[in-house]
Chain A
Amino acid sequence: MSRFTADVYQNEFLPLGATEVDAVVTVTALDGAVAGVVAGPIRAAEVVIVDTSGSMAVPPTKLKAARQATAAAVDAIRDGVEFAIVAGTDRATPVFPAHGLATASAETRAQAKAAIEELEAAGGTAIGSWLELARELFAGASVDLRHAILVTDGQNQHETPEELERVLAACKGRFQCDCRGVGTDWEVAELRRVASALLGSVDIVPRPEELAADFRAMTERAMARGTADVALRLWSPQGATVAFVKQVAPTIEDLTERAVAVDVLTADYPTGAWGQEARDYHVRIHVTAREAGDEVLAGRLGLVVDGALITQALVRAIWTEDAELSTRINPEVAHYTGQAELAEAIQEGLEARRTGDEAGATFKLGRAVQLAAEGGNEGTLQLLGRVVDVDDPATGTVRLKRHVEDVDEMSLDTRSTKTVRVQRPAS
């Protein structure tokens, strides 16, 4: 159980007639128990889903790497954690144990690794059926934290998008799932949809041999999470509408559609399990304009941890005729507005490039270079540099590269939602 703090960054002064209130809220989970709550290791369950479709055999190093990675994940599972390994083709098959979940110990880990060695590649890809089996396995466990890792190398060919959507709806809120794509034959948008619905991350693992380190890191991170179930709770006044609630760091994730109504003025936005970490959120609320000098609360943002409301931050609005005050630009809001635009510009630019719209692609990717340079997104700039030749980052003057490796395009697409935090002067 962690201690949480919430800090608000906004310009609360609005010109007369204005209705739009923007604020960035930084939520930090610190180590240490909340007063009055008994701290203890939380009980966890881990399911590793490994793609064993026929394509995993080509080249043979891919399945070998997947086996090693799954074994590495098993090694990272703490004693006492409930776990299972699932093989995915056009259906899901338990690899270890044969039924339900096993309790991790030196003995069960060794048995699991022996079973993983026997994995062979054959058959198709139906991601929904894999998730469905994971859901059933988790349903039988009485634990606080349920985490899955899914790795695939191909597109979801053996079920319809509607079937996948139906499974995702059933799995939402039941467990979290981090997704990894190996090679370049999988579809970024598809895996992003799965990860987003299941509050997990998505990334590309360009080379199979990098998979083991990544699996170990993901499992360790999941095990280190001390708080199983955290939601943002946003109250806004009568007559107000919540335009959006977005996670903006460490990655961009629009939470608006996840709202679960608490009462007519309040909604919860699930954020999953937390370790010792900080996440930033950008909220935009439309309120009714008031007279000069009036102040209202546009939003009250709280955190609900295991059902208890534990901290809150106030988003305010004060109307003023003083342009000096109302035109001040809040650096946090401006930064994350830019970061959101950056992710959009990359995704739209790559889409334009795929459809042969060279002018559109050059414009959007040029804008992306400019925003990445302004925002200090060094990693994103490097990835952009493999897709376009940059003449001038300040003005976003770029030329599309004639030849782009698939892996570079997919890396840029997958990592487009990764943001950098506001550079604050050291105080």
Chain B
Amino acid sequence: MIKVLKAGIYTTIQDLGRFGYRNQGVPVSGSMDSISASFANALLNNNANDALIEITLSGPKLLFTNATNIVLTGAEMSPQLNEVPIQNYRVYKVVDGDVLSFGELKKGLRSYLAVHGGLDSETVLNSKSFYEDITSQWCLKKNDVLSFKSGIHEIENHESSIKHSHQFYDTEILEVFKGPDLELFSSVEQEKIVSGSYTVSKDNNRMGYQLEEISVVHSKSIITSPVLPGTIQLTPAGKLIILLKDAQTTGGYPRVLQLTEKSISILAQKNVGDKLYFDLVPTRY
């Protein structure tokens, strides 16, 4: 088991998400950076949907009471095992009494901690992803105890083969498709929206990221319609809001652009003040 000695700023359990309930108004949830989360599970030979811990901004302090293998991916948060620095993307054995802690955030925003076989936590509507009012908890807190199937497994470290792929978020460029409502805007306005340079505002969380700049001020409205993680809405005041994994399932602002899956993961590693640009990619028909 894992005992939470310190919870960190915002530490949650996530899997790939809660699918099949959007028509009941249930957000998809799931790991914000699904690429890093997939690396973590793959490095342990876990299933892609196994539940892991998503750590945001500042890390927790965790005590292991059983032996297992662990791996960390995503943001670099100066992890330490029993006060000895360890590396991301490397499988470690832990035993009863080992303590995992974190230090300075060096790169990215969200780190993923996977244990062999995945966490064995509460499943609600076919998913272990935390979401307020759906799961009984919305973030981990001090003294929580998390269980997993214990046991050490001989796993080779394949870090050489993924050495470069974990730098996928070292970019300020997000690939976007045209959104369903982009055509409500003139070509000059469309150009302004797409080619603008943007900054992540302090209003950023698992529901969405609001960008700092005023893009195109408008008075166009749409009848409430479905939205997706990665949908970029343009508010009448001209602000762009990028909806993410915990976003509501419907929205009433024009949906001007749509992030690719990969770009959602890249954005999930961006913090307040980070710069962003869009690169319009063709829709595949």
A and B found bound together:
no
Task: Name B's A-contacting residues (CB within 8 A).
Answer: none
